[in-house]
Structure 1
Amino acid sequence: MDIVELFEKGGVSMWPLLVLSILALGTILERIWFWASISLKEGAVVNRTLEAATRNWQAAKEMALRARRQPIGRYLYAPLKLDNPDPEVFRLALETSADDELAAMRRGDKLLEAVIALSPLLGLLGTVLGLINSLGSIRISDLGTASTSGVTLGIAEALISTATGLIVAIISLAFYRLFQAFWHNQVKIFRRAGGELELIYRQYWLAMEDSELSSKPHPAEVSEVTEK
């Protein structure tokens, strides 16, 4: 049985299943490319940016700016592009950027969820319609006779759509769960990188405040100068 014959025997629901399978396949391939591209580069981006931040904030900013095509690069660049922000503002910039980037990483999830939900239902609908066509032509007087021999074949053909719908849904669900695991791993990476960057900045901020305080004259010295 070739593909064309399979679709003809599967009924009208095979065509929407074909559309859903094409959409799911396109989304799966795009997501595989996306996750592969960021997984290979983000570790180096995080390490270089954090290492540069311990020495020079301008160098860290340039590192993150160069990696702005990567989600982790845009995430780290969001607070670094600010001009000497307060630590709380620095943290808020990290959190806002993380929300935006992590939400963008879930692109395609809704489509896969729709395919997972609709495919079995469309397959079941095709089976029900096939059974209606197969059983609708049977008369009670024909039961047990040779005229009902084609009903078994009709029922078997009606189940083709259900099997197709389940196959599409199972494959889509497997990749959906895989992409969810990748996304949860990204959450951990973002939290770790953001936490380390914030800690480095807070240490820098405290050191900068201490240097400013030490450069100011003591009140006693100011009063002595005033008396003179």
Structure 2
Amino acid sequence: MYWLTNGGILMYFILLMSIIGLAVIIERFIYFKANQQITMVKLRPMLREALEKQDIKGAISTLGNTKSSTARVLREILAFWYQTKTTNIISLEEKGREAALAQIPQLERNMWILSIVAHTTPLIGLLGTVTGMIKAFQAVSIYGTGDPSVLANGISQALFTTAGGLIVAIPALIFYNYFNRKIDEQINEMEKGSAELINYFRK
């Protein structure tokens, strides 16, 4: 409350942005923890064994129960092959690409909100700096420079909003880049998994 009281009305906007940013960060952590822990390192042995045994239905069922974007893409490719029995590599690649594109919105969900928090909050802090300095100089023009507290009040507001904006924006930017890295890793996993599975059908 001390910061809100001394930072002026813009501190409430910064507080709101911090709550929104924190909510997105928690949601993304839960999503990646719950849905993106299974990689090709774990999927490869199961998939290889199923293909060697020609147990395609079993592989499709197992992949369908696995919470992973890569598993979902592989399942779509296998299901497409099982239904069509096509050996057309281009068709399989297109199906893999289509399935991967369908996963991307889930991976990127709410990232635009975190981007807004990371890039807008410093500007709100900067606006608070400007309005605080305007308030300080208006006070000086009215009351003169005899009382330092008159000038200090506006400068204090300016510094509070600047600091508040940076305190919120820096972690938001760090987590924004962290989650983007996680998204890139998942996209690479999907591409690698699709390529490995489709290469099997080239034989």
Q: What is the match of residue 69 of structure 2?
A: 71
CA offsets 1:89-139 (integer angstroms, 9 cap, x no match): 211110111112123201121111111121011111112222222221223
Q: What is the match of residue 161 of structure 1?
A: 161
Q: What is the match of residue 202 of structure 1?
A: 202
| Per-residue deviation, 1:161 | 0.6
The 3 A distance-change label for structure 1 pair 157 and 92 is: same
Q: How does 1:17-166 map to 2 (within 5 A)?
A: 17-42=14-39, 43-56=41-54, 57-67=56-66, 69-82=67-80, 83=83, 84-85=85-86, 86-139=88-141, 142-143=144-145, 145=146, 147-166=147-166
Aligned length: 197
**Runs of 4+ in structure 1 over 4 Å off:** none
* 1:192 equivalent in alignment to 2:203: no
The 3 A distance-change label for structure 1 pair 46 and 99 is: farther
Gaps of 5+ in 2: none
CA distance in 2, matches of 1:54, 1:196: 14
CA distance in 2, matches of 1:119, 1:200: 50
- The one-letter amino acid of 1:77's match is R
In terms of Rg, which structure is larger? 1
Q: What is the match of residue 14 of structure 1?
A: 11
The 3 A distance-change label for structure 1 pair 25 and 140 is: closer
Verify the 8 A CA contact 2:77 2:92 in the aligned structure 1: yes
* SS of equivalent residue, structure 1 residue 138: helix
Q: How high is the sequence identity, in percent, across the aligned residues?
A: 26
- The normalised TM-score by structure 2 is 0.87
* SS of equivalent residue, structure 1 residue 116: helix
CA distance in 1, matches of 2:3, 2:89: 64
Q: How does 1:202-221 map to 2 (within 5 A)?
A: 202-203=202-203
| Per-residue deviation, 1:153 | 4.2
> Per chain length, whose mean CA-contact separation is higher, i.e. which structure has more relative contact order (CA < 8 Å, sep 6+)?
2
- The normalised TM-score by structure 1 is 0.78
| Per-residue deviation, 1:34 | 1.7
The 3 A distance-change label for structure 1 pair 141 and 36 is: closer
CA distance in 2, matches of 1:182, 1:73: 16
Superposition CA RMSD, Å: 2.0
* SS of equivalent residue, structure 2 residue 140: coil
Verify the 8 A CA contact 2:14 2:124 in the aligned structure 1: yes
CA distance in 1, matches of 2:34, 2:112: 22
* SS of equivalent residue, structure 1 residue 139: helix
Gaps of 5+ in 1: 204-228
CA distance in 1, matches of 2:113, 2:78: 35
